[in-house]
Every structure is written in structure tokens, then in C-alpha cells.
């Protein structure tokens, strides 16, 4: 009877001649329980187990007993040394992974240069707030902590039990919420893994008072204490790793294993059609080029061994990758697996060898799995080599991120920026004795009892300022960074400028001397003022790290602060099955709509007779900072063309590019968030200024898409000519003036006067062109449209546009006149000439100048889905679902050229559905106001206001229907079935 001994890796069993039951250890790693034992000193040792053998075996066994006892002593000494190392040395935590036991995790740790898998028990810690002392049913210690939203702390008990015990008493806790003495039960929804990461960080040490135990017994979380990376090093030595890349599309797939230590790359191609197009030489060339593109020194030629295998099924490929991992694994150094694939868990199920390593997940680009029909193997192989070359940089950056965030290397979530902000804020709140409000249903956990008012307070309208006109000077686009950070740090200063202080108690509040309770009369946003103060302190520390130390990760947190505060992502599929239930979840675990609103608004309070009276908000902090920024631009002589929270476009008032450069500190050449209905001529470099052989004209006119296809080209041509002809004339005149003028002989006053005269000359030239060239051109185009498009049906007219107002039969010429003249009239200096031109064109088609049908209306209602994040490159932008041409053609992809990651359409639809449900509920719960004095109705039974005015709803029904119609159009165009059903029901469409 043989005794089975488990080994990590390959196991070679040999038997001596004529003997059975004797196993010779030839592999130097032995598994005892959950721990790996180094047996290099025992190689060749004979291990005998109890079995029925002949007398000859007894004699041999006696001769070998000395060597056997020596092996046992080595194992015993090793285990004792390991126990000492675990208690004396600090643990460098690579990853926390859940085990099969409830409430227990395995911690992959590096201790004294070797890696071990150690069980850690994480208890469930929650807080019970009772108005009267609780019984001994839930034993816990009395604590004094701040509760979310300023809830009163009556008798707050901290209770720590195992997860198994928590499951047994969960029903009893739910019953307690109905007890009037129980104010709330807090932190019951904090994930155990998240709680362990907050408490342990990435480096920890065993408490000196912890009892000794055998290696298979778990350590309790309370016995481990967090250490900073300045106190103890974290992965300072190079960490050995191997990289696994996988992509799959319709039965075709590719697996790439990169083993840097072994200098080997193994590629397995799953191809049911048996054509073999991938050669090792091709892969080597692609890997070499990828290293050069990443500024990495490429390895010498033939230094890496490339191997390519072809199989017909995915299972066969997984078997080959399993063998490759086992053959290249290193047995004496810590090693991690870096995996980039569509589904990590599915790959781990197929390749069981991955269970023996900490697994780090790289964000996967879904575009990699969109194989083309022909040549897909070369494309997939090229992408795989690019990912292999970038894996070293990714791992080094992730290690640096772990050191800064104090998060284990393998425990970052996909959106690591939001996850890191959650970790930092949670630790800061706990340091300030604040109970967390983490929840999994999209609402802050306020003791298990959420008021309905919290459901619909998260949508804050962002300002978008547009000043239509024709700007013929050099215009500059500036991108705004850290507006939310600035508003957060300078809110006190802004409110002092307004004559008040934030929340009505300013410095008293900042010092923490003020205590809020239910009788203060504060609204939900002001009730989280303590957390707001903690957030401000956290952002100040991040700002110091970014400015003084140049930390890129701190700067990334500041850039994504506003997205972390306000962004909702809807992840639950329950909303699809049960639309009437709120099953949404936020992207950030500490998302609080009240905290988001507090960043936006400042509420003033006055005292009348000693009673706190709340008035309506009089200042929006972010909007005030934004307005102050625009005011500074205007003081410097700039004209605002367009402005929102992300960018500002200004007219510099300069015709000359060099003077415009001197006027502006920087120019942004890449538009991060898109605008619509504009056109312009982009500036070339100084060397190409005199080259007029090719002039690029930007034409981004969304309103043109509402014209028939045959008319759109005429519209773009006329508008482009309206921009180019004056620009070309100005360039020619500037060159003529420069050839006759000595720049050093001019005084500033003469230069200013010459500039004014030059501008007047250009204006007169434009007026002349409108009366002659543009009048003739437009009359000819209108004649052709009227002649050739009289029989065009309504469906043909409107076949290319997004859902919106439809053109009437036979009015293509009229719509063209209205659109063109509306654009030409943007130039204020030639408005009179454009009105004359419009009058003549309308007369030609038989329409009176002031007729209702001659008035131009914007044909497209806009809706912007803000703060949409790319899951691959973390690019954040606002998407206009009604005007973006790429979205209208269902090209829902990241706009960064190097990325192209498809957006999740289901997530987008859920976000739109949430907005619709929110606006619907707000419409039904709106206030009734007086149409005369605009005061909110206070008496329920009053038919008229005290001023004798009648009452009406704050939002008109027609306005609400118009907003819902926009969402209905989006759902129809994008084929969002759930959103279409919801909006159809609201609009009562059959």
C-alpha cells in the first residue's frame, strides 16, 4: 500500500529493483498541507512508508534508516524556521484570494525571499446603533464614531463575528431594524476582501502577542498590522513573472505564453481550418519592433526561443499552455502570472496550473477578439507580441502603484483609479472615526434604512456656454484640469467672496466644533459635511504628492476626482428582468449623491428668533469657480466662444499666429470632448503658413444632417466658402502690408490703428462678397433644388438623419435657405447683408420673410451622457448621443486612436434608463408653485396663493414630454429595447 505525497510541479517516481513501496524524491519541492517545502538538501533521499514487503526489504530499510532520519530532521527544521520567519519578518502581500471556506482568504505573501500561501480569517465587523443599551445577545464593545449623514450616535456598539456566525444571525439583524430602539445597523455591506485590504495594505507584520500555531491554521485579521512601504520594503527585488495572453473569436483563438526568465515565447493557435500562417521568424520580428516602439531595448536576435503550435480545439490549446507553464516555472523564487484575456476565471478553469500562482489581471481590449476573415493569424500574433513587450512595463508600473496605494499587487479592480480613490477615502474616514456607508445597491448604507429622497438627487446639470458668431481671428482651445479639485480646496474662499460661508458655519465647521443632528434642519447634502471635510484633507495630501513629489498616480486621482464623485455605472441585470426595482450600483463604493451635491452647492442660513431657517441655494461652488475663470479670460481681452467644465475656446483677437502664441500660454491641438455645429481653418506650423496649395477646413455641422443628402454638400460648400474667402483675402493683404511695412518703425498706437483699419477693410470685403458671389451662388443652388427635388418624398428627404423633426414634402429648398442663412448670420458684422440675402431667397421660393415657416429652429435636441470612462485606457469624455455621428452609426468605441475599445452598450442603456426613471419620479414629485409670485404652495387645501395667483406645476407637461421624446428617439435609433419600452409607456405610445 503506497502513501501518496503531493508535489508542486512534475513528480518522478522510481522503484528499486524488486522492491515496492519505496519512493525516491527527485523533485526538490514538497507540499505539506498548504505550504511548499524546499527539499534541495534532500534530493535523492529515500522515503519509506508503511507497506507489506518481503524480509529482504527490511534489511535494506535498516541500512538506509540513517539517511531517512536525516531527511526527517531537515523537514522539521525547515518548518520550524518557516514558522519563525512568519512571526518575525514582515509579509509582502502579493494577492488576497478567497478560499472555499466562508470568511477565509489565502494570502500569497513573500517572506524572506520565498513565497507562501497563508490562510487568513477575515471577520465580519458591523456597528449597531441603539437608543437604549442593548442586551447581551450581540456582544460588542461600545465605541464613539461619526455616523453617515450626521446621524446621532446613541449607543454605538462595534460587533466582530465570523462570517459563518453572521450568516446565522443575519435574519435576526434584519428583524432588529423594525425595532424602534434600533436606529440602524452600519457597515453590513462592506465586502470582506475590501475590508482586509483597507486594514492590511500591501505590507503587514504579525502582532507580537499573537499565539504560535501550526502552518495550516489561519491567522486572524486582528493579529496582522499594516506597515507602510517606507517602513518595510515592498517587492524591491525584481519579481519573476510569466505573461499569458489570450483572444478568441468564433472558434478561432490564440494563446501566447511569455517566459522572460526562460527567454521563451510559446504561441498556440486554435484554427479549425488547419491553415498555418504564423512563423517564429514573423513573431520575432514583431516582438523586436514592439520593444523599439515602447523604447525598450530589444533582446539580441535568436536570444528568445519562439515556438508555434497549431490545434483544432480550445481544450487542446489549454493543455499545451499547461505544459508550457509547468516546464518554465521557477521553483526557488517568487513568481506571479500576468494574464490578459476576455475572461480570467474561464482561462483559470481550463489551465489549472494557474492556481499555483498569484494571478494579476491586465485590462483587456475587446477589439483584440474581433478577428478579420483573412490574415487574422498575423494580426492576432502581432497584437500578442505587442502585449508581451508591454507586459514588463505594465508590471513595473503596477508594483509602483501598489507601493503608493498600499494595495496588494493582485487586488486592484479593473478601474484602478476609482478603486484607489475608494481605498484612500475609506482609510481617511476610519482615521477620522467615521463609519463607512459602502453599499452594493447604488445608495449609501445609512444603517439599513434609506430615505426615498436619496434615490433622485444625483443628477446635477453642468453649464455649457455657447456664444454663436463668426470668429475670424485666431481661436484657441484650452482644456480644463482639476476644476472639481480647485472648487473643493477653495470653497471657503469662494463663499467669503459671496458674503457667506459654506454651510453657514464656515471655520467653526472646519474645526469640527459643530455637531449636526436631526433638528438642525439641514438637507441631505449638508448632512455629510464631516465626510466632505475629510475628503478635502485627502485631496490636499494628493495635491502635495503630485506637486512636490511629481507622483503621477496622485495626479491621476485628482484628474478623475469628479468622475469618482458623480459617476454611476449600472451593473445589475436585475433591472432588465424587473424594471420597477432599483437594482443599480455605483462605480465607486463610497458614492454618495449628497456628497456630490455638496461639491456643487453652498447654502446660506440665517437666524431669525434663534431658529435655523434654510433658504434656497444661492451659489454653486464649481460654477462659481468656473465663472471666475471665464471672468479672468475676459479681463485679459479674450472673447469666450465656447465653455464647459472640460474645455474653453477663446477668440484671441489676433490675426497673426505668432502674436496669438505670445498671447496664450499653450494651445491644445487634440479635442478631448467634441463640440457640434462649428467650422474653422486649423492653424499650420510656421513653416507651412505660406503654403496655400492645400487648406484644411473643418466642417462639423450637425444641423446639415437634417437636410436631404443631395442638399448637404451644397450647405457644406457655401459655409466653407464663407470661411475660406475672407481668410484667404486677409492672408494676401497681410503679406502685402508686411512687404511695405518696417515693423521697427511703428509705435504701438499706430499698430493698433492699423489693425482696426485692416479689420474694417476685411468686413467691407465680406459684405461685397455676400452681395455678389454668395447671392449668385445661392440663387443658383436654390433654383436647382426647387427644380430637381419637388417630387422627393418625405422618407427620402429624411433617410440619413437621426431621429428628430422631419422635413415636409417639397420644402428642401426652404430648409436649405433657413439653415444656410442661420449660419451666415452668425457674423454680426454682416447681419444686414445676410438678412437682405435671406429675404430675396425666401421670395424666390414663395415664402414671406416673417412667416412662421421661415423661422429657423435647431432640429436636434441634445442629450449628453457625461463622464463615460473607457475600461481599457481610462479615457474619460462626454458623449452626445444625439449629435455624435459615430454614435449615430452605432460605432460605440473609445475615440483614442491607439485604443478603440468598444463601449458597453448594455451599461449605456442602463444609464439612460436610470436617468429616465429619475426624471419621471422627479416630475411626479415636483412642487406646485404660484404663477404670479413663484412661491411654493405650502397649504395643501388652498386653491389660490395668498397673492391671488393660481397654482401650476413647476415643470410643464409638454416640456416633460419633449424631454422624454429625446430618450425615445435615442432608444429607437440605437435599438435599446428596454429603454424604448419604458419611454413608450411614459409617453403613452401604442
Please give the pLDDT value at position 939.
81
Q: How far is CA 900 from the centre of its chain?
A: 15
Q: Which residues pair with 121 in a beta bridge?
A: 104, 220
Give 532-539 contacts, CB < 8 A, sequence gap 24+.
532/595, 532/598, 532/599, 533/509, 534/425, 534/428, 534/429, 534/432, 534/434, 535/425, 535/428, 535/488, 535/595, 536/488, 536/489, 537/428, 538/424, 538/425, 538/428, 539/485, 539/488, 539/489
The number of CA neighbours under 13 Å toward the Cβ of 826 is 20
Q: Which residues pair with 583 in a beta bridge?
A: none
The label of the residue with cell 465607486 reads: 588
pLDDT category of residue 724 using cuts at 50, 70 and 90: confident
Assign residue 819 a region (left: φ > 0; alpha: ψ between -120 and 50; beta: otherwise): alpha
Tell me the H-state helices in 904-976: 905-924, 957-974
Nine-digit cell at 226? 499594516
Nine-digit cell at 924? 411626479
Per-position b or e across 952-974, b if 16+ CB within 10 A of its CB: eeeeeeeebeebbbbbbbbbebb
97-142 pLDDT, tens digit per residue, is 999 999 999 999 998 888 889 999 999 999 999 998 876 666 788 9
Distance in angstroms (rounded) separating the CA atoms of residues 607 and 614 = 9
User: 10 Å Cβ neighbour count for 25?
Assistant: 21
8 Å CB contact between 912 and 866:
no
Nearest to 712 by CA among 723, 700, 728, 722: 700
Nine-digit cell at 836? 437682405
Nine-digit cell at 307? 515556438
8 Å CB contact between 103 and 123:
yes
Distance in angstroms (rounded) separating the CA atoms of residues 219 and 600 = 45
DSSP strand E in 830-873: where?
864-869
Distance in angstroms (rounded) separating the CA atoms of residues 725 and 551 = 49
Please give the pLDDT value at position 278.
92
The number of CA neighbours under 13 Å toward the Cβ of 322 is 16
pLDDT category of residue 330 using cuts at 50, 70 and 90: confident
Helix (H, G, I), strand (E, B) or coil at 381: helix
Please give the pLDDT value at position 778.
87
pLDDT category of residue 26 using cuts at 50, 70 and 90: very low
pLDDT category of residue 982 using cuts at 50, 70 and 90: very high
509-531 pLDDT, tens digit per residue, is 444 433 444 434 445 556 778 88
8 Å CB contact between 29 and 36:
yes
779-800 pLDDT, tens digit per residue, is 888 888 887 776 554 434 444 4
DSSP symbol at 743: G
Nine-digit cell at 576? 432588465
Q: Which residue has the higher pLDDT, 28 or 963?
A: 963
With both helix axes pointing from N to C terminus, report the angle between 552-559 and 376-405 in degrees, rounded to the nearest 10.
Answer: 100
Lowest mean per-residue pLDDT among 274-283, 296-305, 481-490, 610-619? 610-619
Listed in sequence order, the residues at least 6 apart from 494 whose beta carbon sits closer than 8 Å to its beta carbon are 487, 602, 619, 621, 624, 625, 628
666-685 pLDDT, tens digit per residue, is 433 333 334 555 566 565 55
Distance in angstroms (rounded) separating the CA atoms of residues 213 and 881 = 61
199-258 pLDDT, tens digit per residue, is 999 999 999 888 777 778 899 999 999 999 999 999 988 789 999 999 999 889 999 999
Nearest to 174 by CA among 190, 164, 189, 195: 189
The number of CA neighbours under 13 Å toward the Cβ of 458 is 26
Give 258-262 contacts, CB < 8 A, sequence gap 24+.
258/388, 258/391, 259/324, 259/328, 260/392, 261/328, 261/330, 262/328
- Give me the mean pLDDT over the 852-878 stretch: 77
Distance in angstroms (rounded) separating the CA atoms of residues 403 and 405 = 6
pLDDT category of residue 646 using cuts at 50, 70 and 90: confident
Q: Which residue has the higher pLDDT, 351 or 70?
A: 351
Distance in angstroms (rounded) separating the CA atoms of residues 212 and 490 = 52
686-716 pLDDT, tens digit per residue, is 544 455 556 677 777 777 777 887 788 888 8
Nine-digit cell at 759? 479689420
Amino acid at each position: 500500500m503506497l502513501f501518496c505525497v503531493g508535489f508542486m510541479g512534475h513528480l518522478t517516481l522510481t522503484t528499486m529493483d524488486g522492491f515496492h513501496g519505496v519512493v525516491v524524491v527527485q523533485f526538490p519541492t514538497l507540499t505539506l498541507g498548504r505550504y511548499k517545502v524546499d527539499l534541495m538538501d534532500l534530493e535523492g533521499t529515500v522515503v519509506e512508508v508503511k507497506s507489506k514487503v518481503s524480509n529482504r526489504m527490511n534489511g535494506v530499510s535498516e541500512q538506509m534508516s540513517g539517511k531517512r532520519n536525516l531527511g526527517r530532521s531537515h523537514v522539521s527544521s525547515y518548518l520550524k524556521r518557516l514558522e519563525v520567519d512568519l512571526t518575525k519578518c514582515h509579509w509582502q502581500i502579493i494577492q488576497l484570494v478567497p478560499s472555499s471556506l466562508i470568511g477565509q482568504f489565502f494570502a500569497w505573501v513573500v517572506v524572506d525571499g520565498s513565497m507562501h500561501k497563508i490562510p487568513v480569517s477575515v471577520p465580519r465587523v458591523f456597528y449597531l446603533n441603539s437608543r437604549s443599551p442593548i442586551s447581551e445577545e450581540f456582544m460588542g464593545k461600545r465605541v464613539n464614531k461619526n455616523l453617515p449623514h450626521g446621524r446621532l450616535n446613541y449607543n454605538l456598539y462595534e460587533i466582530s463575528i465570523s462570517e459563518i456566525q453572521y450568516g446565522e444571525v443575519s435574519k435576526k439583524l434584519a428583524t432588529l431594524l423594525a425595532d424602534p430602539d434600533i436606529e440602524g445597523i452600519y457597515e453590513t455591506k462592506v465586502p470582506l476582501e475590501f475590508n482586509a485590504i483597507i486594514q492590511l495594505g500591501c505590507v503587514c507584520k504579525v502582532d507580537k502577542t499573537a499565539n504560535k500555531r501550526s502552518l495550516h491554521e489561519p491567522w486572524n485579521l486582528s493579529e496582522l498590522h499594516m506597515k507602510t512601504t517606507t517602513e518595510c520594503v515592498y517587492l524591491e527585488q525584481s519579481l519573476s513573472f510569466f505573461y499569458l495572453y489570450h483572444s478568441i473569436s468564433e472558434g478561432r483563438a490564440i494563446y501566447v505564453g511569455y517566459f522572460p526568465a526562460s527567454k521563451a515565447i510559446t504561441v498556440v493557435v486554435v484554427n479549425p481550418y488547419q491553415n498555418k500562417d504564423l512563423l517564429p521568424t514573423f513573431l520575432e520580428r514583431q516582438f523586436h519592433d514592439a520593444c523599439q516602439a515602447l523604447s525598450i531595448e530589444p533582446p539580441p536576435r535568436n536570444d528568445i526561443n519562439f515556438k508555434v503550435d497549431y490545434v483544432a480545439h480550445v481544450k487542446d490549446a489549454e493543455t499545451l499552455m499547461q505544459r508550457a507553464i509547468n516546464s518554465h516555472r521557477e521553483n526557488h523564487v517568487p513568481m506571479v502570472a500576468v494574464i490578459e484575456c476576455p475572461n480570467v476565471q474561464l482561462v483559470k478553469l481550463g489551465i489549472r496550473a494557474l492556481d499555483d500562482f498569484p494571478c494579476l489581471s491586465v485590462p483587456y481590449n475587446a477589439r483584440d477578439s474581433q478577428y478579420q476573415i483573412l490574415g487574422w493569424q498575423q494580426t492576432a500574433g502581432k497584437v500578442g507580441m505587442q502585449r508581451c513587450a508591454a507586459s514588463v512595463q505594465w508590471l513595473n508600473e503596477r508594483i509602483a502603484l501598489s507601493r503608493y496605494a498600499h494595495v496588494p499587487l493582485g487586488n486592484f479592480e479593473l478601474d484602478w483609479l476609482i478603486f484607489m480613490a475608494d481605498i484612500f477615502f475609506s482609510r481617511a474616514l476610519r482615521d477620522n472615526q467615521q463609519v463607512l456607508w459602502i453599499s452594493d445597491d447604488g445608495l449609501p448604507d445609512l444603517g439599513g434604512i434609506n430615505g426615498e429622497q436619496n434615490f433622485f438627487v444625483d443628477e446635477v446639470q453642468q453649464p455649457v456656454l455657447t456664444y454663436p458668431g463668426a470668429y475670424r481671428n485666431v481661436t484657441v482651445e484650452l482644456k480644463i484640469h482639476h476644476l472639481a479639485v480647485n472648487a473643493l480646496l477653495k470653497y471657503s474662499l469662494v463663499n467669503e467672496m459671496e458674503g457667506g460661508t459654506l454651510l453657514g458655519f464656515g471655520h467653526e465647521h472646519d474645526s469640527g466644533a459643530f455637531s449636526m443632528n436631526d433638528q438642525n434642519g439641514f438637507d441631505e447634502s449638508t448632512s455629510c459635511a464631516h465626510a466632505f471635510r475629510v475628503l478635502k484633507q485627502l485631496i490636499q495630501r494628493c495635491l502635495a504628492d503630485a506637486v512636490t513629489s511629481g507622483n503621477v498616480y496622485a495626479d491621476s486621482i485628482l484628474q478623475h476626482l469628479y468622475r469618482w464623485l458623480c459617476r454611476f455605472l449600472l451593473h445589475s441585470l436585475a433591472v432588465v428582468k424587473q424594471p420597477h426595482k432599483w437594482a443599480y450600483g455605483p462605480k465607486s463604493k463610497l458614492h454618495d449623491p449628497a456628497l456630490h451635491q455638496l461639491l456643487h452647492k453652498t447654502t446660506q442660513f440665517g437666524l431669525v428668533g434663534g431658529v435655523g431657517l434654510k433658504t434656497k441655494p444661492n451659489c454653486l461652488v464649481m460654477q462659481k469657480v468656473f465663472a471666475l475663470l471665464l471672468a479672468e479670460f475676459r479681463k485679459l481681452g479674450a472673447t469666450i466662444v465656447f465653455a464647459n467644465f472640460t474645455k474653453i475656446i477663446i477668440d484671441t483677437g489676433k490675426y497673426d499666429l505668432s502674436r496669438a502664441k505670445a498671447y496664450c500660454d499653450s494651445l491644445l491641438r487634440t479635442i478631448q470632448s467634441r463640440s457640434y455645429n462649428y467650422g474653422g481653418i486649423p492653424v499650420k506650423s510656421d513653416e507651412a503658413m505660406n503654403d496655400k496649395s492645400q487648406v484644411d477646413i473643418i466642417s462639423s455641422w450637425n444641423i446639415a444632417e437634417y437636410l436631404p443628402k443631395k442638399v448637404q454638400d451644397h450647405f457644406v460648400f457655401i459655409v466653407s466658402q464663407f470661411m475660406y474667402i475672407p481668410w484667404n483675402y486677409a492672408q494676401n493683404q497681410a503679406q502685402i502690408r508686411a512687404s511695405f511695412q518696417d515693423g521697427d518703425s511703428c509705435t504701438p498706437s499706430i499698430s493698433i490703428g492699423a489693425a482696426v483699419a485692416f479689420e474694417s477693410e476685411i468686413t467691407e470685403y465680406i459684405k461685397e462678397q455676400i452681395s455678389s458671389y454668395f447671392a449668385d451662388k445661392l440663387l443658383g443652388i436654390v433654383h436647382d433644388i426647387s427644380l430637381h427635388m419637388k417630387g422627393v418624398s418625405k422618407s427620402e428627404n429624411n433617410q440619413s438623419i437621426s431621429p428628430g423633426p422631419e422635413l415636409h414634402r417639397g420644402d428642401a429648398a426652404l430648409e436649405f435657405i433657413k439653415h444656410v442663412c442661420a449660419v451666415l448670420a452668425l457674423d454680426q458684422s454682416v447681419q444686414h447683408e445676410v438678412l437682405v440675402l435671406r429675404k430675396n431667397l425666401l421670395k424666390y421660393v414663395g415664402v414671406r420673410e416673417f412667416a412662421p415657416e421661415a423661422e429657423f429652429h435647431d432640429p436636434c435636441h441634445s442629450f449628453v451622457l457625461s463622464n463615460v470612462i473607457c475600461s481599457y485606457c481610462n479615457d474619460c469624455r462626454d458623449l452626445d448621443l444625439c449629435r455624435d455621428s459615430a454614435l449615430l452609426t452605432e460605432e460605440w468605441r473609445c475615440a483614442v486612436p491607439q485604443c478603440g475599445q468598444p463601449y458597453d452598450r448594455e451599461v449605456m442603456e442602463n444609464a439612460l434608463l436610470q436617468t429616465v426613471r429619475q426624471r419621471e419620479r422627479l416630475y411626479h414629485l415636483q412642487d406646485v408653485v404660484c404663477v404670479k409670485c413663484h412661491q411654493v404652495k405650502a397649504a395643501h387645501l388652498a386653491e389660490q396663493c395668498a397673492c391671488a395667483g393660481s397654482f401650476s406645476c413647476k415643470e410643464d407637461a409638454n416640456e416633460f414630454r419633449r424631454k422624454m421624446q429625446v430618450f425615445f428617439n435615442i432608444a429607437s435609433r440605437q435599438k435599446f429595447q428596454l429603454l424604448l419600452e419604458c419611454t413608450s409607456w411614459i409617453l403613452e405610445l401604442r
